[in-house]
Chain A
Amino acid sequence: MKIMHRLTLKSLRMNKSRTVITVVGIILSMALITIVANSVSSLRESLYNQCLKSNGNTDVYLYSEKPTSENIEKIKLNRNTEEVYLEQVIGASPFKDSSSKFREYIFMNSYSENFYEKCYDFSLKEGHYPQKPDEIVLSRNFVDYSSKKYKLGDKLTLDIGTFYKEMEIGENGETAVMPLSLDDYYILFDEDTKFVKSFTKTYTVVGILDSEMTADYDTGSYHVNIYGYTDLSDNIQTVFDGGSYKTISVKIHDGSIDNSIAFISDLTGIDSKDIYSEIFDFQFDESGQSETQKKLEECEFHISGISINESLYDSVAKFYRTMDTVFYVVVGLIVLIMAASVFIIKNSFSISVTEKTVMYGKLSTVGATPKQIRNSIFFEGFILGTVGISVGLLIGIGGSALTVMIANNLLHGILGGLNIVLSVSWISAAAAVLLGALTIFLSSLSAAVRAAKISPIEAVRNNKEIRIKKNKKNVFRTPKLVNKLFGAGGKLAWKNMKRSRRQYRTVVISIVVSVSIFIGIFSFVSYALYFYDTTVMSRNYNISLYLSDYAGSDKYLSFDEKEAVFEDIAKYDEIDDYSYTFNDPSLYLLYDVPYNKLPKNIKDYSNTVRLDPREEYVYDEETGFTLVDEPQEGWDNISDSATLIAFDDRNYKKLLKKLGYGYDEMKDKAILVNVNVAYLLADGEKDEYVPHTIKYMEDSVGYKLDMRYHLYDEKTGLYLPKEKHLSLEIGGEITDLSEFKDWIIRDDLYYGSLIVSKEWLLKNYPDTSRIESNMYISSSDPVKTEQSLGKIDQQIYINNISDEARKINSVASLVQYLVYGIIVVISLIAVTNIFNTVTTNMKFRQKEFAMLRSVGMTKREFNRMITLECLFYTVKALLIGVITGIIETVVIHYLFTNMWNEDIMGKPLGFIIPWQSVLISAAAVAVLVFVITCFSKLKLNKQNIIETIRNDNI
């Protein structure tokens, strides 16, 4: 090996600590970038996997009425086909052994064998997947709700059929009894539907699943599931004819929207554009078939419909859209880390080379060419870089695996069971390697150029360390204060700081960078959490539930029975506060608000975003009902739809008391939530939307609302006005929602809401059994409450807000910890850098210090000088860092203020002083400096004075 290379290696070996520190710096940077990049790619991959889980791993759906086995075979043999799955809807059957009064039917779907194995991620508890027409597997919901226990080999005899309803099929009012698809709606809501059996069949249970298909997972459904086998042949008994019940789904190579369309086009011979249009363009004209549909029918496969698994391809795009903020934060972080890494690697390298300046000078005198010296520096960079980058990459990948493991544990059971898998992003690994290599190369380059420029004589004399600035005086006075406080030691320390700025520049910059980044990120997170807390997270209840009035077997709960259920729940020990509400969303009540009751600024605009112009159905003999929604001449009002809401007695009375109304005076009137709302109103003149804060209604108290019913008309599919009018006088109003900030009913106090008494509601509603009832609970033990609620034998849909809050909190915490972790690592890198620089500086000045001691400086004064030096530059660095951090906080404050809606929140966004982060950084820096000073003092004090002075080989 060449002498220069040998020398470089030897010097690296002999200066172990310096070498290690430099390499560690490189390793840390590489590892960090890798971990962050891999976290993002892992999350993305996991979301994709989740989509696979819910929709299955397939691309194209072909619906066919009578698929022949030749057709299926042909599709299988197509060069783009990877896998062909067969799906068929069989029918429903009454669930005779149901243990729940709500799970009344069994729905059966059948699939080809490969579907169970490859398309979907079923988990088989025991047995095997169905392989013959009479074999079935039971899903978990079947097992959960079956009062009878089934084992493998048991027989299950089912009366299979579906729901039928008399429907109009022609234009002349002809009706026929038509079969309906399997849908809970027909079980529950449609009184005209009837279940009719088509056939009876006995199936053999060959397997029991530990799950069901994601689409079938529903706590509120009225059926359970079993799955069978199909090959789409006539051997499979089914209730349904018709195309949409038999599906051939195909997984193609390189699934994408374009390739899926190309596949269909290739298979059927129809132009891709037509296929695209058929799938994505919505056709309103339902009369007859489109050209493409005809062609699909007529082609050899007799396809009655096509669709593709778009959401699978969307998942990646969706990921970036919904995770926008997170994505940008992450990108910002990576850029930050890279910048810090570049800075630190460059510095480490620079130090390493500076140390060897004397050696290079000596080599130069012996005859080493500048080129040889440059090459040796590059060689050093190459060695350090190779080791650092490769080890860093490995540690990064290991760290990513660890992060994924930790994330899975923290997020266990949250976010819909998303399981995060490790996905190593090779692109970012390559990018990181490239960046690292580039940085090291550039650092070597600048060091090499610098080293070669120094003439051998200057290098030997080593006088480049002290920069003599051209126009500045070499003589200056040390501030009197320094002199008085710190004496001779302080004077020297001050002079040193002023004269050899370069030495400490790196240390100062390292500290400034670390401190300001820390404070900046800390502030960002503080604002983000505060924002989240006040706008999204603040709810006064942690469980909400909806009580369905369906009591099973075509029975419905009465109003009193519903109330009784709520009152029972209210008695739980752990419930701190509760409210329940009644309203009827199927009712559509309109009333007019005359212009003179509208706030002045919107009267002039006839087309506002909030208030639609009055909608009126005008009936004409010839044209039937038409909707008129443009302002007509002579109209002097706009219409609005009513939100009537009644609270439970307890809360209603509490509300009245607070507002100062009596029960008797209000019980037949409404309280209007008449608050300021911020809107964008169209400015006809300026032709743009202008923000306004307006009150809902002027002079509302005393105004009588004349509400018109609109009920759903099946024939026309419209909400048509009925004869019946409802009169309601506004007896009072709420104008300031901030007073109800902590009330549990706060979320129901929506602008425009009309609060009525329960009495009025019961008296005036046409059909009280259809009233929707919701309950909101603030529980000190939400888990216990949820369990108790689950035991009630009613159809209750529970929304555990605290669970959701926990989920969101977990994610927020995770991101927070990740960010802090990254800061810690950046700081570690900065610390190694600082350590590096300071120890080198001390080393260089050993002779100088030895001379000071020989001239007569006492140990104490010497120590003081060292301490002061360290103190001076770190205090300087800390100040700059803190000020920079505060400036960053101000910028962040400004950014968040833009998003903060002062009118809705009721107050401006307050400035969050980052005193915590400032204190933490100050403390950290203080500790660091203390350690360095002690270490330096220790090392220097050990010197033997005269040996150091005489030793020219330092």
Chain B
Amino acid sequence: MEILRVENLVKTYKEGKDEFNAVDDISFSVEKGEFVAVVGASGSGKSTLMHMIGGVDRPTSGKIYIDGKEINTMDNNKLAIFRRRQIGIVYQFYNLIPILTSEENIALPIELDGRKPDKDRIEEVMERLGILDKRNSLPNELSGGQQQRVAIARAIINNPTILLADEPTGNLDTGAADEIVKIFKMTNKNYKQTIIMITHNPEIAKEADRILRIKDGKLVGEA
């Protein structure tokens, strides 16, 4: 079942008279339960592509369908709601709220929806990711790897349609990086979570089912 379809996506940046296409007419689709890796050199446009899929940035032209819904035409409010219910994003720099504890950070998408967080569910996720003992710690009390796991927990707490990860291991040492990838694989295998992960590390890319290569804003290959 097709869960994501991208059609002729373009993102243009203007600088005076010069125009520059960060994403230059990309089209592809992802099936439910796939673990896709997006690789490319720095500045190739993969982050830009990711942000547009996640609804955090808007394309200049083109269409994005998630679970059959066209998201590029949604207004900011609808997009935000969509984002918190259907999409989980993990960033390279974690992006945790510094004044909230791990547990509070994880519960954030639920609370933003106005719903009461299910403590059991949170505990379950936290245990799955091995951070239950850090539930009351603030981000600056955690190591890089622990922070990233909190971020992942936050991203998956709502059982999102797609989990997007933008260089999730970029800030971690090898050991921690391996753990994170293991978590992704587990989530994908055991919970059929669709994952699209950006990485520039070919070793980590190999762990995915499918690799999309981006160069100069264009999709140049698949593996």
Residues of B within 8 A of A371 (CB): 77
Q: Which positions 344-361 of chain A face chain B at CB distance < 8 Å?
A: 359
Is there contact, CB below 8 Å, between B112 and A366? yes
Question: How far is B104's CA from A11's CA once the two chains are assembled, in angstroms?
Answer: 14
| Interface residue range, chain A | 20 to 34
B114 adjacent to chain A (CB < 8 Å): yes
Per-residue 0/1 for B90-108: is the Cβ within 8 Å of any A Cβ (1 yes, 0 no)?
Answer: 0101111111100000011
Question: How far is B94's CA from A364's CA once the two chains are assembled, in angstroms?
Answer: 14
Distance (whole angstroms) from the CB of B201 to the closest CB of chain A: 20
Chain B CB count within 10 A is highest, among A367, A369, A455, A457, for A367
- CB-contact partner of B94 in A3, A359, A952, under 8 A: A952
Question: How far is B76's CA from A456's CA once the two chains are assembled, in angstroms?
Answer: 11
B181 adjacent to chain A (CB < 8 Å): no
A362 adjacent to chain B (CB < 8 Å): yes
Chain A residues with CB under 8 Å of chain B are 2-4, 7, 10-11, 14, 359, 362-372, 455-457, 460, 951-953
In the complex, residue of chain A having the shortest beta-carbon distance to the beta carbon of B54: A365
Is there contact, CB below 8 Å, between A369 and B80? yes
Is there contact, CB below 8 Å, between A953 and B96? yes
Question: How far is B13's CA from A579's CA once the two chains are assembled, in angstroms?
Answer: 93
- CB-contact partner of B76 in A359, A370, A457, under 8 A: A370
Is there contact, CB below 8 Å, between A367 and B95? no
Is there contact, CB below 8 Å, between A363 and B97? yes
B41 adjacent to chain A (CB < 8 Å): no
Question: How far is B109's CA from A951's CA once the two chains are assembled, in angstroms?
Answer: 24
In the complex, residue of chain B having the shortest beta-carbon distance to the beta carbon of A470: B16
Is there contact, CB below 8 Å, between A369 and B94? no
Residues of A within 8 A of B100 (CB): 7, 10
Is there contact, CB below 8 Å, between A370 and B80? yes
Residues of B within 8 A of A953 (CB): 96, 98, 139-140
Residues of A within 8 A of B111 (CB): 2-3
- CB-contact partner of A363 in B94, B112, B139, under 8 A: B112
Is there contact, CB below 8 Å, between B93 and A369? no
8 pairs of residues in contact across A and B, judged by CB atoms under 8 Å: A11-B99, A363-B97, A363-B108, A365-B95, A367-B113, A369-B76, A372-B80, A457-B56
Known: A7-B100, A457-B51. A367 touches B56 (CB 8 A): no
Binds A, one of B19-27, B30-38, B81-89, B129-137: B81-89
Is there contact, CB below 8 Å, between B56 and A365? yes
Is there contact, CB below 8 Å, between B56 and A2? no
Question: How far is B56's CA from A458's CA once the two chains are assembled, in angstroms?
Answer: 10
Question: How far is B89's CA from A948's CA once the two chains are assembled, in angstroms?
Answer: 25
Residues of B within 8 A of A370 (CB): 76-77, 80
Is there contact, CB below 8 Å, between A3 and B98? no
Is there contact, CB below 8 Å, between A3 and B108? yes
Residues of B within 8 A of A457 (CB): 51, 56-57
Distance (whole angstroms) from the CB of A617 to the closest CB of chain B: 96
B46 adjacent to chain A (CB < 8 Å): no
Which 10 A-B pairs rank lowest in CB-CB distance, beginning with the nearest? Answer: A367-B84, A3-B111, A369-B80, A953-B98, A367-B83, A369-B77, A362-B95, A952-B93, A456-B56, A370-B76
Known: A3-B108, A362-B97, A953-B98. A455 touches B57 (CB 8 A): yes
B149 adjacent to chain A (CB < 8 Å): no
Distance (whole angstroms) from the CB of A453 to the closest CB of chain B: 10
Is there contact, CB below 8 Å, between B140 and A7? no
Is there contact, CB below 8 Å, between A7 and B97? yes
B154 adjacent to chain A (CB < 8 Å): yes
Residues of A within 8 A of B112 (CB): 3-4, 363, 366-369, 372
Question: How far is B202's CA from A945's CA once the two chains are assembled, in angstroms?
Answer: 33
Is there contact, CB below 8 Å, between A14 and B83? no
Residues of A within 8 A of B56 (CB): 364-365, 455-457
Question: How far is B87's CA from A14's CA once the two chains are assembled, in angstroms?
Answer: 30
In the complex, residue of chain B having the shortest beta-carbon distance to the beta carbon of A11: B99
Is there contact, CB below 8 Å, between A366 and B84? yes
Residues of B within 8 A of A372 (CB): 80, 112
Known: A366-B108, A370-B77. A460 touches B114 (CB 8 A): no
Known: A456-B56, A457-B56. A359 touches B97 (CB 8 A): yes
Distance (whole angstroms) from the CB of A677 to the closest CB of chain B: 75
Question: How far is B84's CA from A10's CA once the two chains are assembled, in angstroms?
Answer: 22
Distance (whole angstroms) from the CB of A373 to the closest CB of chain B: 9
Residues of B within 8 A of A368 (CB): 80, 84, 112
Question: How far is B99's CA from A938's CA once the two chains are assembled, in angstroms?
Answer: 25
Residues of A within 8 A of B82 (CB): 367
In the complex, residue of chain A having the shortest beta-carbon distance to the beta carbon of B16: A470
Per-residue 0/1 for B119-156: is the Cβ within 8 Å of any A Cβ (1 yes, 0 no)?
Answer: 00000000000000000000110000000000000100
Is there contact, CB below 8 Å, between B154 and A366? yes
